[in-house]
Amino acid sequence: MLIKELEHQATVLSDGQLQIRVATVIMEDSRPLSTTFHRYVIDVGGDLSNECDMVKDIAKGVFTKKRIKARIKAKELFIKQLKAGDK
């Protein structure tokens, strides 16, 4: 019988973003037949509605109001700098 398992690994990056690695493991008789990996990043304050409980729990501790406010400010500054470079 084939069984599909998802294994999540989360890394908190220096700016507070979460880097997620999902391993999809196909198992037969308790032995892995194949494993594939998918990576993605969740920005500070990003949508967590489709994430597993483990990722949501980590984000709850990392995505503080202070960190979200700082990330918004950094993005605004970056956009301002980009626009100034267009002149």
List beta partners, residue 24. Answer: 6, 36
Reading the chain (87 residues) residue by residue, the pLDDT tens digits are: 899 999 999 999 998 999 999 999 999 998 999 999 999 999 999 999 999 999 999 999 999 999 999 999 999 999 999 998 866
Order of strands, edge to edge, in the sheet holding 18-28?
A: 2-12, 18-28, 31-42
- What pLDDT is stored for residue 86 in this prediction? 67
- What pLDDT is stored for residue 87 in this prediction? 60
Nearest in space to 48 (alpha carbons), one of 77, 20, 74: 20
- What pLDDT is stored for residue 85 in this prediction? 80
Question: What is residue 86's DSSP assignment?
Answer: T
Q: Is the pTM of this model over 0.85?
A: no
Query: How far, in Å, CA of 49 to CA of 37, rounded?
Result: 21
Nearest in space to 18 (alpha carbons), one of 71, 74, 63, 67: 63
- What pLDDT is stored for residue 60 in this prediction? 95
- What pLDDT is stored for residue 1 in this prediction? 85
- 13 alpha carbon, distance to own chain's centre: 10
